[in-house]
Amino acid sequence: MMQPQLAETLPWQGWRMHTRRDDVRDMIALVAQALAGGDTELLYYGFAPGDGEDSGAEPARELVAVTMDRSQREVIWRFGRCEAGHPEKSPQAYFSSPVSTPQSAMTVYPEFPSLASQYPGALWIEREMWEKTGCVPVGHPDLRPILHPEKVLPDPVARGSGTFHLPLGPVRADVTESGFFLFDTIGEQIMHMQPQLFYKHRDIEKLAEGMTAEDALLLAERISGTSTAAHATAFCRAAEQALGYRPSLQNERERMLFGEMERLYNHVHDFSQIASATGMTVAQAQFARAKEELLRLNAEVTGSRYLRGAVRLGRSASVDWERGAARLSAGLPAIDRRVRHFVRLLLHTPTFIDRLRPTGIVEREWAKAYGVVGPVARACGLAVDARSDCLRHLYESTGHACMTAEDAFGDALSRFRVRVREWDVSQRIVLELLPSLGMSTLVETELSLAADRGSMGIGVAESPRGRVSHVLFYKNGKVVTWGIRAASAWNWPVFGLATANGNIQTDFPIIDASFGLSYAGLDR
Instruction: Tell the smallest beta-carbon distance from residue 291 to other proteins (Å).
Output: 13
Cα–Cα distances in angstroms (integers) from residue 335 to residues 262, 264, 269, in the given order: 15, 10, 13
Instruction: Tell the smallest beta-carbon distance from residue 353 to other proteins (Å).
Output: 11
Query: For residue 100, what is the DSSP state?
Result: G
How many Å apart are CA 357 and CA 407, to the nearest integer? 11
Instruction: Tell the smallest beta-carbon distance from residue 419 to other proteins (Å).
Output: 20
Instruction: Tell the smallest beta-carbon distance from residue 296 to other proteins (Å).
Output: 5
Instruction: Tell the smallest beta-carbon distance from residue 270 to other proteins (Å).
Output: 20
Closer to other proteins by Cβ: residue 159 or 348: 348
Closer to other proteins by Cβ: residue 73 or 338: 338
Main-chain phi, psi angles of 472, to 5 degrees: -130, 125
Main-chain phi, psi angles of 93, to 5 degrees: -60, -25
Closer to other proteins by Cβ: residue 99 or 175: 175
**Nearest in space to 374 (alpha carbons), one of 489, 464, 458, 494:** 464
Closer to other proteins by Cβ: residue 133 or 212: 212
Cα–Cα distances in angstroms (integers) from residue 320 to residues 252, 310, 317, 323, 371, in the given order: 16, 12, 9, 6, 39
Half-sphere exposure of 397 (CA within 13 A, CB side): 12
Instruction: Tell the smallest beta-carbon distance from residue 235 to other proteins (Å).
Output: 15
Closer to other proteins by Cβ: residue 275 or 430: 275
Q: Tell me if 228 sits within 8 A of 308, measured CB to CB.
A: yes
How many Å apart are CA 247 and CA 229, to the nearest integer? 16
Rg, Å, the chain Cα set: 23
Closer to other proteins by Cβ: residue 301 or 447: 301
**Nearest in space to 468 (alpha carbons), one of 310, 258, 259:** 259
Instruction: Tell the smallest beta-carbon distance from residue 477 to other proteins (Å).
Output: 16
Closer to other proteins by Cβ: residue 307 or 403: 307
How many Å apart are CA 184 and CA 362, to the nearest integer? 19
Closer to other proteins by Cβ: residue 19 or 304: 304
Instruction: Tell the smallest beta-carbon distance from residue 371 to other proteins (Å).
Output: 31
Closer to other proteins by Cβ: residue 338 or 392: 338
Number of helices (H), then strands (E), belonging to the chain: the values are: 16, 14
- Where do contacts with other proteins occur on this chain (CB under 8 A)? 215, 218, 222, 282-283, 285-286, 289, 295-296, 299, 303-305, 308-309, 338, 341-342, 345, 348-350
3-state helix, strand, coil in the chain (%, to 5): 45, 20, 40
Instruction: Tell the smallest beta-carbon distance from residue 397 to other proteins (Å).
Output: 31
How many Å apart are CA 276 and CA 287, to the nearest integer? 10
Q: Tell me if 111 sits within 8 A of 86, measured CB to CB.
A: yes
